[in-house]
Structure 1
Amino acid sequence: MDHCKVIVLDEADKLLSQDFMDMLDRIISFLPSKRQMLLYSATFPVTVEEFMRKHIDNPYEINVMEELTLKGVRHYYAFVKERQKVHCLNTLFSKD
């Protein structure tokens, strides 16, 4: 671990949940202080921000959602019972 210069956390929001936080803190404690850490996530909840403040000096954030245009994308939310899911999906997919 002394020679590890880069650590990458994909789905960082999931990995930084309470289930994994202690394990990650322990792993990071074995890494050299001079390292690069990359965090990738579709969402950045408070736990990710706290982790960055604790483990990363001068973090740089790239937020693609500010640049991404979602022209032509429709969002739907449907609260359905388990047995209705397939029918609901079929109905949504059949829409223009």
Structure 2
Amino acid sequence: MTDTPPDRLSTDPSSPYFDQPKLERGIGIRFKGNERRDVEEYSISEGWIRVALGKKVDRHGRPLTLKLNGEVEAWYERPAEGAGEGGGESGDEGETA
């Protein structure tokens, strides 16, 4: 089983691509080889990200965004709940005979 983020994800709750449980795990984005922390929405297959345009907002109070085209990579910053257990590395260090 691969643990890859969705092809498209948004931080805007009104978007159809918003998914709170996936966002809570943390999504890392690399755009054109540089890691970005200011991404509002991304699409890997279409090759674009949306970033906030400073502190400017539209008439509804949502941030204005700028769409940038280029190579996009995404990954989860934290493993899924229950995944990664059973490694046994941390429990064996403190044992003495």
What TM-score, normalized by structure 2, do the two folds share?
Answer: 0.22
* TM-score of the aligned structures, taking structure 1 as reference length: 0.22
Instruction: Give the number of the structure whose alpha-carbon radius of gyration is greater.
Output: 1
